[in-house]
Amino acid sequence: MATDTGFRLNDAPMPEDRTAGWGFVRAQGDVVQEIDGTWLLTSAEAVRFAHRHPEIFSSAKAFDSLGSPVPLIPLAVDPPDHKKFRRVLDPMFAPRVVNAMEAALRAQVRDLVSAFAATGRCEVVADLGRLYPTQVFLTLFGMPLEDRDRFIEWVETIVENAGRDASGEPSPEVMAAAVALFTYLQGHVDAKRANPGDDLLSQVLALSGDDAWTNDEVLGLCFLFTLAGLDTVTAAIGFVMLHLARRPDLRAQLVADPALIGPTIEEVLRLELPAPITPRVVLVDVEVCGTLLPAGAQVGLCLATANREPGWFGHADDVDLSQADGGHLSFGGGIHRCLGSHLARRELRLVVEEFHRQIPDYGIAPGAEPRVAWPSGTLHLTALPLVFPVGDQA
């Protein structure tokens, strides 16, 4: 029975040290109940069990509380309907598709880095992390890049204020941002119907017959990507650059051998999950690791603690490139594994490559102490100021 002295996820010492924070959570056991009644599955065994049983652990029910006017496609859809959407979308996000976009995406990140390369300093989150993923989204969906800044403003207003009001009623500023964003997205859906291109949005709209999507489903796909696919990549860019700034030895290895960039990204993603906990609702009574979860229970799959399980990774709390192919859960698992994982990995690789091409030597600005926002729906650095020499860089 939950008590006033029970476990609170928000009490985890997360801002400065995720190792301590997730260690605090994992120490509670494989399955633990918060004082608000929510259950957390913290072990790799428990999380994998939930991933294997989407018929028990509902994703659709978990997102009902958001009150979205459109279905969040494909995340908030359970089997068997889920397969219809993934069958269409998976090929659109395949590596070969991402490969075809690489030149354009590389040019964009190169320009962003060039804007501060000669100044000797940058703030990674503001100058790179929050800008680049939105530009990628706009490119992918065939929307104008000049809309980037207002698009970011809408999304940040919605994401940063999500869940702050316990009554569940969105604030006027969130409502205004949501209406503006939906109006913008609907306008582009209508424009693509009239004049389709070769972008992802046009491809979805071109589906016909039994495969055709409703207008709300198309909007739901766009809305999900704006809310779940932008701030997570922003956060991941910050974490990757943080680890490289703190590890000049690792940075030197990557500059000398770019083939190590991929394994380094995998290890940082394993340790620093932007989306560390994914929600589910239990549809029937089920026992997990010896604990009975009742039907209707709100459950969080704690991917972050599963990723740090010593029995799974030899150096569970450290970046170790020798274990980078260990199959972490940072992109989820089972039928709801992240649709955009290939694209996110490519964005991160291009950021590191182009940053190092222009700025191979850098460090955290003196006096700065990078911290994450906590509690927060998306785990991310609030800021990451870097300094570097100018004039003699590559």
Report DSSP state, residue 32: E
CATH code, 9-387: 1.10.630.10
> Residue 325 has what pLDDT?
79
Neighbour tally for 70: CB within 10 Å: 19
Q: What percent of the chain has pLDDT over 90?
A: 79
| Residue 174 banded pLDDT, cuts 50, 70, 90 | confident
pTM recorded for the entire structure: 0.94
| Residue 5 banded pLDDT, cuts 50, 70, 90 | low
> Residue 165 has what pLDDT?
44
Q: What residues have CB less than 8 Å from 227, skipping those under 6 apart? A: 72, 155, 158, 159
Q: Is the predicted pLDDT of residue 33 greater than 70, yes or no?
A: yes
| Residue 4 banded pLDDT, cuts 50, 70, 90 | low
The candidate with the shortest Cα–Cα distance to 140, out of 343, 285, 306, is 343
Query: Once rounded to an integer, what is the mean pLDDT over residues 230-243?
Result: 96
**Measured distance CA(190)–CA(207) in Å, rounded:** 15
Query: Once rounded to an integer, what is the mean pLDDT over residues 62-85?
Result: 83
Helix (H) or strand (E) holding 258: none
Buried/exposed 237-258: b ≥16 CB within 10 Å, e otherwise: bbbbbbbbbeeeebbeebbeee
Kindly report the average pLDDT of the chain as a whole number: 91
Token pair in block for residue 220 = 């739901």
Query: Once rounded to an integer, what is the mean pLDDT over residues 340-346?
Result: 95
* pLDDT, tens digit, 9 for 90 and up, residues 256-269: 999 999 999 999 99
> Residue 348 has what pLDDT?
98
* Residue 127 near residue 116 (C-beta atoms within 8 A): yes
* pLDDT, tens digit, 9 for 90 and up, residues 259-296: 999 999 999 999 999 999 999 999 999 999 999 999 99
| Residue 66 banded pLDDT, cuts 50, 70, 90 | low
| Residue 393 banded pLDDT, cuts 50, 70, 90 | low
> Residue 1 has what pLDDT?
34
| Residue 220 banded pLDDT, cuts 50, 70, 90 | very high
What are the residue ranges spanned by the domains of the chain? Answer: 9-387
- Side-chain-side CA neighbours of 326 within 13 Å: the count stands at 29
Token pair in block for residue 227 = 């809310």
* Residue 365 near residue 372 (C-beta atoms within 8 A): no
| Residue 2 banded pLDDT, cuts 50, 70, 90 | very low
Determine which of 135-139, 165-169, 370-374 has the lowest per-residue pLDDT on average.
165-169
Query: Once rounded to an integer, what is the mean pLDDT over residues 130-135?
Result: 95
| Residue 175 banded pLDDT, cuts 50, 70, 90 | confident
| Residue 65 banded pLDDT, cuts 50, 70, 90 | low
